[in-house]
Amino acid sequence: MSDDPLAELSDVARTYGGVAVLEEVSLAVRPGVTAVIGPNGSGKSTLLGVLAGAVEPTDGRARYAGPDVDRPIGYLPQRVPFREEFSARETLAFYARLAGGDPDEALERVGLSDAAHRRVGALSGGMRRLLGIAQATVGDPPLVVLDEPTSGLDPGMRRRAFRTAADASGADTAVVVSSHDLDLADEHADRVVVLDRGHVAAAGPRERLCTEHGVDDVAGLYRAVVAGAGVGRVSGDADRDEPSAVHVTGVSDR
């Protein structure tokens, strides 16, 4: 697996109405699965939007550093505006015309071949999330960004959706996924980014971070890092003092 970054954030900040949601975030995204975890309101959705190019930083720089291909970045936001009267295959055929790739292959990849001709409006919530993962991966982009692909799903469907997302990663492909399911992050993630109040509280290979913090898994890492976060040292890819940010009700989904 290559260790060359496919995307980089340098001192990225993002504010909404004067409220800081991200502050001085620097990250390098490498092939494999990177799980972004953190409390509600920590800036996960905004971070993923910046990585995908859907959110413009207020300050700093976001740079795609991967190969020059027709579709460099695939993105699944929390809410995907699929047209409910389209079938699953028609939906992916639309994206395939823009990004390349085979819609039938994308449906098979996420296990929706049998639902190819069902209207999107008739799909279950779990099937719609799988369709969203298929949309984000059609055309085989080197960087896939998935914002809470398991949100609102039952345990079995959460596991299936996360496994499908992780399967999209490879030696030259990075999948960045935000999730509150720490067990699934522990099972599938190669690297972990812990956000807390708009700052990177920890970032790096999962096993190394767990060793450094004396914990056994990602759930323990979350408790160790977030419980002790605030003003202080930042471990992982960044290693510097960070000021504390203020959590403001009303931007908790960012």
SS (H, E, C) 189-234: CCEEEEEECCEEEEEEEHHHHHHHCCCCCHHHHHHHHHHCCCCEEC
Q: What is the pLDDT of residues 128-165, one digit of tens each?
A: 999 999 999 999 999 999 999 988 788 888 898 898 88
Residue 14, beta-bridge partner list: 22
Q: 32-37 and 174-178 as β-strands: parallel, antiparallel, unpaired?
A: parallel
Residue 81: its pLDDT value, please?
A: 81
Longest dimension (CA), the chain: 54
Residue 238: its pLDDT value, please?
A: 35
Q: What is the pLDDT of residues 51-110, one digit of tens each?
A: 999 999 999 999 999 999 989 999 999 888 899 999 999 999 999 998 888 999 999 989
Q: Are 119 and 87 in contact (CB under 8 A)?
A: yes
Q: Mean pLDDT over residues 116-123, rounded?
A: 95
Residue 228: its pLDDT value, please?
A: 61
Q: How far is CA 204 from the centre of its chain?
A: 15
Residue 28, beta-bridge partner list: 8
**Rounded (5°) CA angle 140-143-146:** 100
**DSSP letter string over 169-196?**
-BTTBEEEEE-S-HHHHHHH-SEEEEEE
> For a pLDDT cut of 90, what percent of the chain falls above it?
71
> For a pLDDT cut of 70, what percent of the chain falls above it?
89
Answer with the residue of higher pLDDT: 81 or 201. 201
**Which of 186, 163, 165 is closest to 176 using CA atoms?**
165
Q: Are 245 and 199 in contact (CB under 8 A)?
A: yes
Residue 253: its pLDDT value, please?
A: 45
Residue 230 confidence class, pLDDT cut points 50, 70, 90: very low
Q: How far is CA 68 from the centre of its chain?
A: 21
